[in-house]
Structure 1
Amino acid sequence: MATGKIVSRLHLLIDRCVRRYTEIEEVSSPTKEIEKDLLLSLSQVLREIQSWINEIASDSSEEAGEKTIDHEDETTAALYDPESEEYLCLERLVADLVGLLGMKSVHVKHLAGNILVEVSESLVESGSQWDDFIRLLCECLRLAVVYSCPIPDSEIGFGSTDLHLLVSDVLKCKLEKANWSTVSDIFRVLRNILKRLSQEENEELLDVYLESVNSTLAKIPWCRVDTLFSHQHGNGERNSQGQNGALGGTPTSEEATVFLGNFVQFLCSVVQQVRFAEDNDGFEPTHLILQKTIELIPDLLCWCQPKLESQSGSCMSRYLGHKLLVLMIRLTYQSNIKCTILLSWLEYLQRHFQGFLQHTLTRFEPDQDNCLEGSPFFVSLSDREVNETHSNHLQRLTVLLFLRCSFTLLYSNRHTNKHCEFDCRKKGMEEMFKWIEGQVPGDTFSDHGTYTKKSVDFSTSFVRLFMHEDDLLFKVLLQLLSIPLHEKELLNVEGHSLQDEEQTILFRLSTLFNPVILFCIFLSELHYDHQVLLDYLISKDIGASCAEYLLRCLRTVCDSWTVFVEFPFEGSTNASSSKRRKVLTENSEVEQNGKLHPQAFEDAKDCLISLQNSVVKLHQKKLFPYNPEALLRRLSRFQELCLSHE
């Protein structure tokens, strides 16, 4: 299939389908008959474009060289030239399809959005004007937001200049009646296009996408959006300003909720994809789009909070809470966030997610659910059980974000000066102290007869909380590896001579989140099944995280061999602290407690050695997805220590 005129062909195809419907008055609210005809036409267009994509992909695999170069020359001539025929065709087809997003028919909007995604795919495959396409779509987004925002009469003639600045009549004509539903649908389309791009693994296309989105977000009048949504309390009514002579209008409760859901979902996807250019210091759009997203977080939290409160317990409320937490968590991994921002996020968690932070973790028991979350059997659960499952998920996210923010304040080098470092560490310590005190009372750490049982119970419950979500599990386990262990502080605390609050908190952290103990609990919760570990390692989603965790944990285990061997895996009530045992080696009770559960050590040893054998076999057959040499060296060292222990 010749790809040189792909844009013209797309335009003719879409124009034939759309033209006769756009000429009908009140097409935004079509009759059932018109809607049915339009849906049939759009379905045919969608199938036709998909067949073209298959043809282009087939031809491109057979052809190379001269024709490809000719196409590049042709599209380069058209690129950025608003007077070219190809560009005008592209502009019209984008305007026509985006115009359909303003219809009240959910099915028409869905099909129009899918066609836009397929148009993007066809331009990517043909190498024709995709850059122009994504910029036009982003410009449609900006215009849709501008037209959806009411402009007070006092600003008409001044604030309205951005409506006409460098905007073609074609786009303005289609978007003059845009509303917040249109904005939501454009965000949805942009997100779906991004998902396709992530599968292409083409960094150049991703760069163009991020640059276009960043430029658009920078041009959107967020102050106007804030005026609307900060006074939108979910009452489902439009204020008088939206009805009287102003462009656009205040969104209804439903429109606002759908917009916020799509917008936060879109930002989550964008932030997730930024990692592809994370190592490129010169890639400005990456840095800028992260910074813009961080700047928008306070507004997003303000806009979403009325929905979270007024619709508490509803599916949308849980979804918004979930996405907001995910967005903030991803930002902590992707950018160097200022301390002041992290502090504000901690304050937000304490105000609005305090229930999840304060909820005791010791209630989590093994095998508490009879089915996996999201499985077909999930529908058999009662409403109470379903709500509890969703609450557990939000608690995981809340705790992970809390730890990310607190530990960054405690251990990072992002502080601007010594005063900033002191204040941030102090605030981080205060937050950690309150959280630990709420979970494990302070007397737990002074009562030597029982504190090991209680602290191990907490550590076990903590791991169990995250066992249901593998990606969050390894994120939190890797995060906890950043906690330093100081033997001197442990001695001082146990001797009741240390008064420094900071060292007290560090001791409690190192006791509750000792990496060796957590690793032992982790293996125990897997029932020492090396096949589960192997599945983790070869997983496309969490394989890298699991490998990193095993590498770092095995190193710690080998360096703290006595703790690993003697740890009371089953949480014996009489077992003393593993850290305390290191400095009280003459205590006969400790020597006895170290042998309370020898079978647990044997199970852990067999699990890791079996894992080593499985990885070796796969690696020899070249079936392991990456080079496991570093992991095998750590496992070999572990095996040597096991042999010397016998």
Structure 2
Amino acid sequence: MARLSRLCDLISTSLETSACVQSRVSEKHLLLSLSSLYKEIQKLCQLQDLEDEAPVTAHNCVVQTENLEGNCKCLANVVLSMVNFFEHDSEFVQHLTSNILFTIFTSLIEADGIWVKFLQFVWITLVITMLSICGAASPCSQFQSTSLLKEVTTHKIPALDMSSSEIESFVSVLQSAHANPTSKTALGLFQMLHKMGKYLKNKVDQEGELGEKFILLSVKFLHNIPWDHYSKTDFGSSKMKAVLSGCILQFICSLIQKNDFGDSQNSAMEVSNLHRELGDLVPKFLSSFFGLSDGEKHLVQYMKHKTFMLMIRLSFYPHQNDTSRIILWLRFLKEYFPDLLYKPFSNYTITPKCCLEESPFFPSFADKLVSLNTQTRHLQRQALLVFFKSCFGLIQTSSEIEKEQCLCGKEASLIDCGTQFCCCCCGNIGLSEMSDWLKCAFVCQVDTSPINFGLSFLQLFMDEDDMLFYILLLLQDASLVTLHTEIKGACYNYLHLLSNIIDPVCLFHLLLLSLKYDHLVLIDYLISKDTGVLCARYLLRCLKFVSQSWQSFGEFSVPQLQETDSSNKRPKLANEVCDASTSSKAFVDAKQCLVSLKNTLEDLHRKNLFPYNPKALLRSLSRFQELCQQ
């Protein structure tokens, strides 16, 4: 490959890597050299007719090894020559190094197979760097004994078209050329890999084939990083550990595509299996990321955000919802995030300054208190979404599991539940955890009215539209409404209370009340790119529930705030606090809102101004209008 040969020669002649790094030449001189090299590489990569030229006869790689020949030798030379610059103290040098390697990667995409080998060399360098950082006595020898080389030898990794001898040769050369790597190299390589993945997904990979290869190789190599030793590793400073951990979480999140409806048919079987492997890997490294000092507050907040995002994305894949993983995630939530999970959320009012500004972690220097409150609310929403999905997932899958196969019956220590039936079956673990959460959350509220509790819960999620409809759809799927009659003991009242709160008709009324019965807000939700499908799906379900429970919908009322009787420990249920005098107003307001929504939808659809076909929703709204007229 003529272009690769010229790239190899250009890098070899332009830089003396070891001399530059070891002698710590002036930053200005090194930046000038790297900038000049970067410009030359960009010019070379833009030449379209270079592949048709005659082969380069004077080419001679610096890397000398028997088992690496042709393109492999050039790729190895490029990676080995550039990776040392990540060790320089200057962030500008590290940034230019990453840009150079990324530009070379993008130029190799069109050459089938070449970019995959380049990616493999980058990953091998990263894994050995992590082995060295985590205290391996002989990182190269330890890498050669990993399961990766065994899979290569038996051809179990289709995308990995290198022989074990080629990998061993590269590892040997890497050991001499890059003897003592630090976390700077690991950080630079993870950041570059994240950039590569985004490029494949957004720029060139329309059919997904390149992205699948990238995910496959990434997951295979991630399994060979010593996560068990990560938490005990000295990174020099807590800030470096936090930055590296956040970068790793960011990269792993980028490997998992959003699958909002749990439709595994939307992705290839190979990618689905990779997500299963990645799900098995998650518990190994997540617990290593939260031994950080409070001094790195914003970094820790960002890591929590990425951790919840990772768990949420994985939870929408059906194969991730096996019992053992859900129980492990519940234990993880209770151990590391009890402050978010059991944090009170009553009397939370939505104001413009509480809304997210570009990012949940956009620094607000004008009002740090408001910024911190916004971040905490965002993290609380994420934690509760994971918690609810986990609990309801256990309840829904418990009926499919034989009791002799139930993990919680054999290992009572899997999760610490305070109820008498916590080890009977997996479904009971979900029920008991939900009961314990509700007991704590309900007691922490100012009042004990289920309606006001439900409003506070909804208002917590109102700041983020997509998460609002995730939780609403999840609560619709919950099976507690039918299961609560089988529960005995102290938790009965709380689960009965929850079944009233998550009643679909009740929640629909509370949502409309929270929106002040403004049908234009629903229109905004429906036409939004982020929430349109979710909102339409939720409204269709709600209108079906309303038609099936018309009397309950018409009799719903919103009571006034009621005082808590400290002598009565039992919370009041929804049917005990309804005020008949308010039921008529709630029904009329809801009817006017939904009829106005129907009229506006019809008008937009008639003028071809609605982004998709709303006929199914219009039919449901017409049926609702007919019921109102009867």
TM superposition score normalised by structure 2: 0.78
Contact 2:346-2:456 within 8 A present in 1 as well = yes
Are 1:138 and 2:123 matched, yes or no?
yes
Contact 1:98-1:174 within 8 A present in 2 as well = no
Paired residue for 1:95?
A: 80
Contact 1:28-1:102 within 8 A present in 2 as well = no
Paired residue for 1:426?
A: 428
SS in 1 for 2:257: helix
Are 1:338 and 2:322 matched, yes or no?
yes
Contact 1:565-1:594 within 8 A present in 2 as well = yes
1:613 partner amino acid: E
Residue segments in structure 2 that go unaligned for 5+ positions in a row: 53-65, 147-164, 409-423, 564-571
Paired residue for 2:438?
A: 436
Q: Deviations over 1:212-244 (max 9, x none)?
A: 112212333x2xx523x3334xxxxx5xxxxxx
Paired residue for 1:630?
A: 616
Contact 1:528-1:607 within 8 A present in 2 as well = no
Paired residue for 1:459?
A: 454
Contact 1:336-1:414 within 8 A present in 2 as well = no
SS in 2 for 1:279: helix
Partner Cα distance (2:562, 2:280) in 1? 50
1:323 pairs with one of 299, 303, 306: 306
1:537 partner amino acid: L
Seen in structure 2, the aligned counterparts of structure 1 residues 551 and 51 have a Cα distance that, compared at 3 Å, is farther
Paired residue for 2:181?
A: 178
Paired residue for 1:218?
A: 223
Task: Please state how far the C-alpha of 1:408 moved relative to its aligned partner.
Answer: 0.8
Task: Please state how far the C-alpha of 1:305 moved relative to its aligned partner.
Answer: 2.3
Partner Cα distance (1:112, 1:606) in 2? 60
SS in 2 for 1:608: helix
Partner Cα distance (1:459, 1:615) in 2? 33
Identity of aligned residues (%): 28
Q: Deviations over 1:349-398 (max 9, x none)?
A: 22332222222221212327365434899736422222212111111111
Task: Please state how far the C-alpha of 1:192 moved relative to its aligned partner.
Answer: 1.5
1:231 partner amino acid: K
Partner Cα distance (1:411, 1:97) in 2? 52
After TM superposition, the structure 1 stretch with the greater mean CA deviation from structure 2, 27-36 or 376-385, is 376-385
Contact 1:92-1:170 within 8 A present in 2 as well = no
Are 1:192 and 2:195 matched, yes or no?
yes
Q: Deviations over 1:401-447 (max 9, x none)?
A: 11111111112258642252842122211111111112224999xxx
Q: Deviations over 1:318-366 (max 9, x none)?
A: 1122222222222222233432332232223223322222222212123
SS in 1 for 2:73: helix
Paired residue for 2:548?
A: 559
Paired residue for 2:257?
A: 272
Paired residue for 1:74?
A: none
Task: Please state how far the C-alpha of 1:209 moved relative to its aligned partner.
Answer: 0.9
Partner Cα distance (2:244, 2:443) in 1? 43
Paired residue for 1:399?
A: 384
Partner Cα distance (1:372, 1:280) in 2? 31
Seen in structure 2, the aligned counterparts of structure 1 residues 270 and 425 have a Cα distance that, compared at 3 Å, is same
Contact 1:570-1:597 within 8 A present in 2 as well = no
Partner Cα distance (1:360, 1:371) in 2? 19
2:200 partner amino acid: L
Paired residue for 1:123?
A: 108
1:511 partner amino acid: N
Q: How does 1:300-315 map to 2 (within 5 A)?
A: 300-307=285-292, 310-311=293-294, 314-315=297-298
Task: Please state how far the C-alpha of 1:461 moved relative to its aligned partner.
Answer: 1.0
Q: How does 1:385-534 map to 2 (within 5 A)?
A: 385-412=370-397, 416-419=401-404, 420=406, 422-441=424-443, 454-484=449-479, 486=481, 499=488, 504-534=493-523
Paired residue for 1:245?
A: none
Contact 1:151-1:160 within 8 A present in 2 as well = no
Partner Cα distance (2:539, 2:332) in 1? 34
Seen in structure 2, the aligned counterparts of structure 1 residues 297 and 126 have a Cα distance that, compared at 3 Å, is closer
Contact 1:483-1:510 within 8 A present in 2 as well = no
Seen in structure 2, the aligned counterparts of structure 1 residues 132 and 533 have a Cα distance that, compared at 3 Å, is farther
Contact 2:239-2:296 within 8 A present in 1 as well = no
Partner Cα distance (2:613, 2:302) in 1? 38
Task: Please state how far the C-alpha of 1:487 moved relative to its aligned partner.
Answer: 8.0
Partner Cα distance (1:83, 1:202) in 2? 32
Partner Cα distance (1:380, 1:150) in 2? 40
Seen in structure 2, the aligned counterparts of structure 1 residues 170 and 611 have a Cα distance that, compared at 3 Å, is farther
Partner Cα distance (1:132, 1:277) in 2? 32
Seen in structure 2, the aligned counterparts of structure 1 residues 123 and 568 have a Cα distance that, compared at 3 Å, is farther
1:195 partner amino acid: K
Seen in structure 2, the aligned counterparts of structure 1 residues 89 and 350 have a Cα distance that, compared at 3 Å, is same
Q: Deviations over 1:161-217 (max 9, x none)?
A: 559962425544543332222112211111121112222333211221122112212
Seen in structure 2, the aligned counterparts of structure 1 residues 21 and 539 have a Cα distance that, compared at 3 Å, is farther
Task: Please state how far the C-alpha of 1:88 moved relative to its aligned partner.
Answer: 3.0
Task: Please state how far the C-alpha of 1:560 moved relative to its aligned partner.
Answer: 2.4
Task: Please state how far the C-alpha of 1:606 moved relative to its aligned partner.
Answer: 4.1
Contact 2:395-2:431 within 8 A present in 1 as well = yes
1:544 pairs with one of 533, 536, 539: 533
Partner Cα distance (1:283, 1:251) in 2? 42
SS in 1 for 2:624: helix
Seen in structure 2, the aligned counterparts of structure 1 residues 196 and 559 have a Cα distance that, compared at 3 Å, is farther
After TM superposition, the structure 1 stretch with the greater mean CA deviation from structure 2, 427-436 or 95-104, is 95-104
Partner Cα distance (1:409, 1:84) in 2? 54
2:505 partner amino acid: V
Q: Deviations over 1:547-583 (max 9, x none)?
A: 3222222222232233334433586769xx99749xx
1:177 partner amino acid: N
Paired residue for 1:243?
A: none
Q: Deviations over 1:68-109 (max 9, x none)?
A: xxxxxxxxxxxxx97663343333323333333232221122
After TM superposition, the structure 1 stretch with the greater mean CA deviation from structure 2, 342-351 or 23-32, is 23-32
2:333 pairs with one of 320, 324, 349: 349
Task: Please state how far the C-alpha of 1:466 moved relative to its aligned partner.
Answer: 1.0
1:639 pairs with one of 614, 625, 630: 625
Task: Please state how far the C-alpha of 1:131 moved relative to its aligned partner.
Answer: 2.5
SS in 2 for 1:219: coil
Task: Please state how far the C-alpha of 1:538 moved relative to its aligned partner.
Answer: 3.4
Aligned residues: 567
Contact 1:530-1:610 within 8 A present in 2 as well = no
SS in 2 for 1:272: coil
2:430 partner amino acid: G
Paired residue for 1:77?
A: none
Are 1:208 and 2:213 matched, yes or no?
yes
Q: Deviations over 1:234-289 (max 9, x none)?
A: xxxx5xxxxxxxxxxx65433322221111111111123689994279734542x3
Paired residue for 2:568?
A: none
Task: Please state how far the C-alpha of 1:12 moved relative to its aligned partner.
Answer: 4.6
Seen in structure 2, the aligned counterparts of structure 1 residues 125 and 550 have a Cα distance that, compared at 3 Å, is farther
Seen in structure 2, the aligned counterparts of structure 1 residues 359 and 611 have a Cα distance that, compared at 3 Å, is farther
1:296 partner amino acid: L
Partner Cα distance (1:381, 1:196) in 2? 35
Paired residue for 1:64?
A: none
2:91 pairs with one of 82, 91, 106: 106
Q: Deviations over 1:475-530 (max 9, x none)?
A: 1111111124758978x9xxxxx955676454222211222222233233334444
